[in-house]
Copies of this chain bind each other. A is one copy, B any other.
Amino acid sequence: MLIYTHKVHYYETDKMGITHHSNYIRWMEEARIAHLREIGLSFKSIEEMGYISPVVSLSVKYLSPTTFDDEILIETRLSKYSGVTLEVAYIMKNAADDTIVAKAKSKHCFIKDNQICSLERDGAEMDKILKMVLDK
């Protein structure tokens, strides 16, 4: 588990006065990329190995609104790895009072030469790291 902090920007609010819900999807990306870097899988290194890693699916439950200047703590957990797809789980809290503001999941695959790739078969280096981390 890793914790990533995002402070809500003014331009992330909408006319309801709260954070627009689409921004949480972007924070998930920020947190996920930080987490992967931490375990030795920076996006730059992933792309240098010839992979891109698009999002296959995602879901979000919005539990409590946030707004400008709120500090959001995003706990990320690599929750599942099949050799082909990676799942990440997120719990987002308002740092002010530890309220859970959102829970989310996202699923990712790895593409090389325009084809979905089994890391288990073709990406030994990444496969090894992900298996090691998931075992914990």
Contacts and interface: CB of A to CB of B under 8 A. Distances in A.
Interface in A54-68: 54-62, 65, 67-68
Contact of A62 (B10, B22, B57): B57
A4 to B, nearest CB: 12
Q: Which of A15, A23, A52 has the most CB of B within 10 A?
A: A15
Contacts of A40: none
Given A57-B59, A58-B60, A10 B21 contact: no
Contacts of A18: 15, 54
A26 B11 contact: yes
Contact of A69 (B17, B44, B69): B44
Interface string A7-39: 001110111111011110110011001000000
A22 B21 contact: no
A43 interface: yes
A58 B55 contact: no
A54 B65 contact: yes
Nearest to A69: B44
B9 A26 contact: yes
Given A9-B30, A13-B15, 8 more contacts: A10-B14, A10-B29, A11-B26, A15-B15, A21-B55, A22-B23, A54-B62, A55-B62
